[in-house]
Amino acid sequence: MQLSNKLKILNDPIYGFITIPNSLIFDLIEHKYFQRLRRITQMGMSYLVYPGAHHTRFHHAIGCMHLMQKAIQVLRFKGVEINNDEQNALLIAILLHDIGHGPFSHAMEHSIVNGISHEHLSMLFMEELNTEFNNDLTLAIQIFKGDYPRKFMCQLISSRDRYGSSRLSKAG
């Protein structure tokens, strides 16, 4: 019998030790769609001017997941009920929220494919992953889209509506 160790701890330069909380999230991180984020810079071409500013979307997504773990912990401490399925969905949604970014991140977003935001592409990636992972991402997708009744959860993921419309712009 072969046991696989999918509960990993990463040593992040900013946050220190980050725990991968379960095997589903580990498998999502290991997936080729997520691994491509290692080659996409978080800050466009800034690293050419500031060599120390070389962060990738991979680093960003892992850090976001870590911060979501902390946010859930604080919300629960304050009496907000978040069940384990919601917790897992929040972690998946934040981990994958930027998976649709292309080369050089925002700097090239509308240069390659005009009129399609990275949020829309992220949604397409998430739907494909949901199929591959036997619909285990369904709740995460509902939260990401803003279709889940507990709207604050979508707000934890993004300050934008479904596919890139800023909520602030709607408020006027």
With a threshold of 0.85, does the pTM exceed it? no
Confidence tier at 160 by pLDDT (50, 70, 90)? low
CATH class of the region 9-171: mainly alpha
Q: Does the structure show a pLDDT above 90 at 8?
A: no
For the cut 80, the answer to whether the pLDDT of residue 145 exceeds it is: yes
Domain ranges in the chain? Answer: 9-171
Per-residue pLDDT of 93-130, as tens digits, reads 999 988 887 765 555 555 566 666 667 788 899 999 99
According to the model, what pLDDT value does residue 55 have? 79
**pLDDT, position 164:** 45
Residue 3 has pLDDT above 90, yes or no: no
- HEC letters along the chain: CCCCCCCCEEEECCCEEEECCCHHHHHHHHCHHHHHHHHCECCCCHHHCCCCCCCEHHHHHHHHHHHHHHHHHHHHHCCCCCCHHHHHHHHHHHHHCCCCCCCCHHHHHHHHCCCCCHHHHHHHHHHHHHHHCCCCCHHHHHHHHCCCCCHHHHHHHCCECCCCCEHHHHHC
Q: What are 27-59's pLDDT values in tens digits?
A: 999 999 999 988 887 777 777 888 777 778 898
